[in-house]
Amino acid sequence: MTAEPLTRSELFVQLRKELFGEERSTFSKTHIFVILGASGDLAKKKIYPTLWWLFRDGLLPDNTYFVGFARSNLTVQNIKAECLPYMKVSDGDHECLSAFFSKNSYLRGRYDDGPSFDQLGTHMSSLPGGTDANRLFYLALPPTVYQHVSTNIRAHCMSSRGWNRVIVEKPFGRDLQSSQELSAHLGSLFTEDHIYRIDHYLGKEMVQNLMVLRFGNRIFGPIWNRNSVASVVLTFKEPFGTQGRGGYFDDFGIIRDVMQNHLLQMLCLVAMEKPASTSPDDVRDEKVKVLKCVAPVSLSDVVLGQYVADPQGEGDSRLGYLDDPTVPKGSCTPTFATAVVYVQNERWDGVPFILRCGKALNERKAEVRLQFTDVPGDIFGERCQRNELVVRVQPDEAIYLKMMTKRPGVYFSPEETELDLTYRSRYKNVKLPDAYERLILDVFCGNQMHFVRSDELREAWRIFTPLLHQIEREKTQPIPYIYGSRGPTEADDLTRRVGFRYEGKYKWVKPNTT
């Protein structure tokens, strides 16, 4: 007999109890959430909508106020009008929405100006319970102003009677040196428990599920190692190009934008040893141990690509990366990269971890794929493909195991199929929260498990900085690939060379959820 699913309100009551638990009195204090960069795209499209969803669902502490701060001459009404298209407001939500914006305020100021932050501090203290409030500062800003803003927060805006937490958005520097300088600056102002370096991929349902999948199931433990795993592929694909943001993207490139953070974080969760507990530092200790076992990436183990126009395409696909007017002429910035790294420890020695990411590819997809070794003693005449365990992060969250079974009917021949857990069909009544919802809620709760620690960041940059410097110093030319393709064929050659076997005959089909 299957238990009836909890209603939405029951789920939220249960979650609040789980989150706030015996510390409910802590959450009765006033909390002030400050959005620095309130006029920017990130605030408009992600942060304000996320705070609204958490407020609407009753997941924030009761006395929470929201303060926007930016250089623009705005009002709360301006912010509301800008954010509404992204807030998913239903017909019955308008009263609640009015209550949300009644708790909002906005101040105009300069990021390098002490008196502006003095005014911000005074404003926070004037809010109900503001002098004793817990304060959260979200830096939705370009890294160029982090130093001024963090210094001014420390000097003018810290609460002396509550806790203070600072959320920092990536990119956390451009290379090892700039990252170390940023970490040293933040470390001179705040302790590590104040700092929440946010990588939104760590808030995604299936990324968080990797730990439960690995350490909550007996069946995976004995095969999760070099004896059974032939290769691990971590993929991030987008079906669109830079779409007019080429000037920003060209400063960073696909390796800094995706590989050094999102894909490396997923690699850590796949490769790490079982932590002593689920406490944030126990988990992050194990992730750092993995990174310390990875040597800096060599250019010989990398394929770089840059998309060009599809002459047969339509719309954006008729424009290559260099056709974007915001991209410098002759730019060598890669929009695609495949890199092979090795975790040189007892569990994984010799197993290639293949990191693939790119823009303007044939589909939108992010996934983790473990390909297992061949079955020894083949009795089926090489008609069996390798087993694969796939964790699909987006879209259509799923876990499926590709396996061989007998073809139904009178035949006695093997056929490839899957054991499939597709979330949309299995959990029809469950709303999966947005990654930012989870992570911002974690900041309120003081849980740093899904945030990047300074030593973790240092090791990640150590792995990629020599490659990035070599590419930029030598102006390495990326291989052209057509908009909407799978990327350069040379990337497939590299993955084959290190042992990944791509059959190309089988495709996972999303189950019918109706």
Q: Which are the catalytic amino acids?
A: 262
Task: Give the full edge-to-edge strand order of the sheet including 64-70.
Answer: 104-108, 64-70, 31-36, 134-139, 164-169, 195-198
The torsion of the CA quartet 434, 440, 445, 451, rounded to 10 degrees, works out to 90
Strands 195-198 and 229-237: unpaired
Question: CB of 280 within 8 A of CB of 357?
Answer: no
Q: Is the peptide bond before 280 cis (omega within 30 degrees of 0)?
A: no
Report DSSP letters for 432-475, one per residue: PPPHHHHHHHHHHHT--TTSB-HHHHHHHHHHHHHHHHHHHHHT
Question: CB of 343 within 8 A of CB of 293?
Answer: yes
Identity of the amino acid at 186: L
Question: CB of 205 within 8 A of CB of 432?
Answer: yes
CA distances 138 to 6, 130, 167, 190, 499, Å, are 33, 18, 5, 14, 43
CA distances 328 to 247, 248, 256, 322, 506, Å, are 7, 11, 18, 8, 41
Contacts 24+ apart (CB under 8 A), 148-153: 148/111, 148/112, 149/36, 149/111, 150/185, 150/186, 150/189, 150/190, 151/189, 152/111, 152/112, 152/113, 152/114, 152/116, 152/117, 153/117, 153/189
Token match 């029951």: residue? Answer: 10
Alpha carbons 61 and 92: distance in angstroms, whole number: 22
Q: Within the chain, what is the greatest distance between any pair of CA atoms?
A: 82
